[in-house]
Amino acid sequence: MKKPLFFLFILSVVCLPMMGQVYLDASAPIEDRIEDALSRMTLQEKIAVIHAQSKFSSPGVARLGIPGIWCTDGPHGIRPEVLWDEWNQAGWTNDSCIAFPALTCLAATWNTDMSYLYGVSIGEEARYRNKDVLLGPGVNIYRTPLNGRNFEYMGEDPYLASKMVVPYVKGVQEQGVATCVKHYALNNQEVDRHWVNVNLSDRALYEIYLPAFRAAMQEGGSWSIMGAYNLYKGQYACHNSILLQDILRKEWGSDAAVISDWGGTMNTDQAITNGLDLEFGTWTDGLSDGASSAYDIYHLAMPYLKKIQSGEVGTKELDEKVRNVLRLIFRTSMNPNKAFGAMCSEAHSAAARKIAGEGIVLLRNANSTLPIELKASERPTILVVGENAIKMMTVGGGSSSLKAKYEISPLQGIQERAGDMANVQYVRGYVGDVGGEYNGVTTGQSLQDDRTPEQLTAEAVEAAKKADYVIFVGGMNKAHNQDCEDGDRLHYELPYAQDQLISALAAVNNRVIFVSISGNAHGMPWSQDVEAILQAWYSGSETGHAVADVIFGDVNPSGKLPYTIQATLADYPAHQYGEIAYPGVEKQVHYLEDIFVGYRYADLYGTRRPIKYESQGVQYVINPPKRKPTYPFGFGLSYTTFAYSEATLNGNQITVSVTNTGSRAGQEVVQLYVSDSKASVVRPKKELKGFCKVALQSGETKQVSFTITPDMLSFFDADAHQWVAEEGQFMMHIASSSADIYASLPYNYKK
């Protein structure tokens, strides 16, 4: 080959393609790389990267060697692959995952180490599957027990959710996968979720509904955040100027990419100006599923491009959006140091089992019925009753539905652990949801049973008469109008006449153990009739093992409730003002309970008169509860006992010693609540401001300390739009739940 031709060949093969590449290498600062890439992009390329190209991906810039972004639903496991432009499964055989416990279970551990383990484990699974963005975790506050997605969130308290979300975010992102914290903000119901406008005070917004998001962004450093479907002050959350521009960008200083919920973008002009960066899932112009041009007519696609080309809008906002998307890309898909990940490993199974076991809450244990101690010489008869003992729960519930590699049912776990040391029998008891399919993933179970409820009850009662123990595994499931996306529960009671069945079993057997598989509080009118109650959540692949671990004493339960369990629906403050407060009237919902959510409301029991006050022109009337909760926030029993020493206060440090006075090793959650003795505004009687989970061997004592800081004493002043800690006396309460206080110490705060 002649030299001129040879050099032309080298130029064409090697040099010319490189002329389009981003020059700055991966060692350069990300912000420099962003500006370099932005300067090389055409207008059409900039528009392309800010909206989807498929159901779960957005394009990069192929000409510049910039890959796209691949998202996956979470937050409990990695969603199976779907077809390019459909929700149905792609039919892969290698996209199963480990199903981790639902986030209510994680919150119930009250253990930030468990949260970090969870984040690392699920992050590794996402990384192995080449996912760049994990759509989770969810941190919306538990306002009503009817919310179909409460199981995906971290409970009723903003402090608990804030502390638990940060390690999760860090654990995931250490794997080179971005978390996408959701649903920002005020997505507290599924009824009318696409259309309802939320009205609430700035105090409630800042004190109750925003802290967990703020912690995820500022302390956790989440690389992306997902807008909610609902409206706030008349603007959709996915392009809401107050939430995205004023709060996220200006107040919190976040540089995260703002991603729309799927189909959450509703207005082109607001999407341009109000802070949305990346648009997914929009249904536009009535196009059928899979229409080839669907993505071109997204709000941030051709409509935006035409506005720029016509001069109607400039490119300042576009460049900001592209910067945020490029930053997300450089942190994830173009991160040269990202981990390789792992999928369905033994370590992940062990993590799922450990988290599930630590999250199970022992609510009642009369006569020390639990744990069941197996002895070969006795071989007791254990009767397991209930559909939830056999029903797979990883399929269904909405976008968190999974294709788990395996799922151990409670019955399997009990049978496996008992072995030949017990006679384990099973009867159905009730028939609930016999389905087992979601978007093409099927459980393969056949749960059809044509017997009448009377026949099923009679069978269960007769078997219970002969059993040494009855373990009733019930609760809810992930069918529509239960614990499921896009629909709220229709009532507070257990479905499928379980209440009547439990009462019938308790009438013939004095050792009935109730195990609730659910993600929401429910009525327990029979709570004093059964001997033991376990809140076991949706615990994923290792559900059965975790349940058996606790029932037979291999794990000493240490979970604490992340929400208050009230006796009836009417005992929840959101349900005391009629439809205007839930689910709303004419697509307007008003949070008339204001800041009195969860235990903040339950603490008013015993108050003689309604609390009346005005905030930002709205009159609030809070009627005290008529009864104590069935189980308070932060409550949970153990198989051992703990004693608290007298607490001491030294400067800003409060210290207490905790001793395990029982015969088993166990863990206790020491909780710190703060009361403002004399405030210029109405405040809750106390608020959680610290917790520490401490592991103790039998007879062991450990010290737990908390440092008091001004932010623990502050309230949000809506008029001044700032957090305020007023001088004066506060009370520091050391407790094991919101209702069990061991010590109260006065603390004088001076600025």
Spell out a b/e string for 105-125, using b for 16 or more CB atoms within 10 Å of the CB, else e: bbbbbbbbebbbbbbbbbbbb
Count of alpha carbons within 13 angstroms of residue 411, beta-carbon side: 18
Output the DSSP codes for 466-487: T-SEEEEEEE--SSTTSS-TT-
Rounded-to-integer distance, Cα 409 and Cα 159, Å? 33
Angle at 403 between CA 149 and CA 385, to 5 degrees: 70
* Region of residue 297 (phi > 0: left; psi between -120 and 50: alpha; otherwise: beta): alpha
CA distance 751 to 745: 19
Q: 332 forms bridges with which residues in the sheet?
A: none
How far apart (Å, rounded) are the C-alpha atoms in residues 690 and 709?
A: 11
Q: At what angle do helices 112-128 and 346-359 cross, to 10 degrees?
A: 150
Of 73, 132, 157, 261, catalytic = 261
Half-sphere exposure of 726 (CA within 13 A, CB side): 15
The CA-to-CA distance between both ends of the chain, in Å, stands at: 83
Structure tokens at 16: 């010319």
Question: Which position has the token pair 């009867």?
Answer: 427
DSSP-derived 3-state class of residue 70: strand
Whether residue 261 lies in the annotated active site:
yes
What beta strand segments (E) does 508-616 contain? 512-517, 532-535, 588-590, 611-615
Token couple for 515: 């195990």
Please name which of 173, 255, 187 lies closest in space to residue 227, comparing C-alpha atoms: 187
SS3 431: coil
Question: Identity (one letter) of the amino acid at 264?
Answer: G
- The DSSP bridge pattern shows strands 648-650 and 642-644 to be unpaired
CB 384 within 8 A of CB 473: yes
Quote the CA–CA distance of 584 and 730 in Å, as a whole number: 37
Q: Give rounded-to-5 percent helix, strand, coil for the chain.
A: 30, 20, 50
- Per the CB < 8 A criterion, the answer to whether 97 and 535 are in contact is no
Sign of CA dihedral 21, 26, 27, 32: positive
Residues annotated catalytic, as ranges: 261
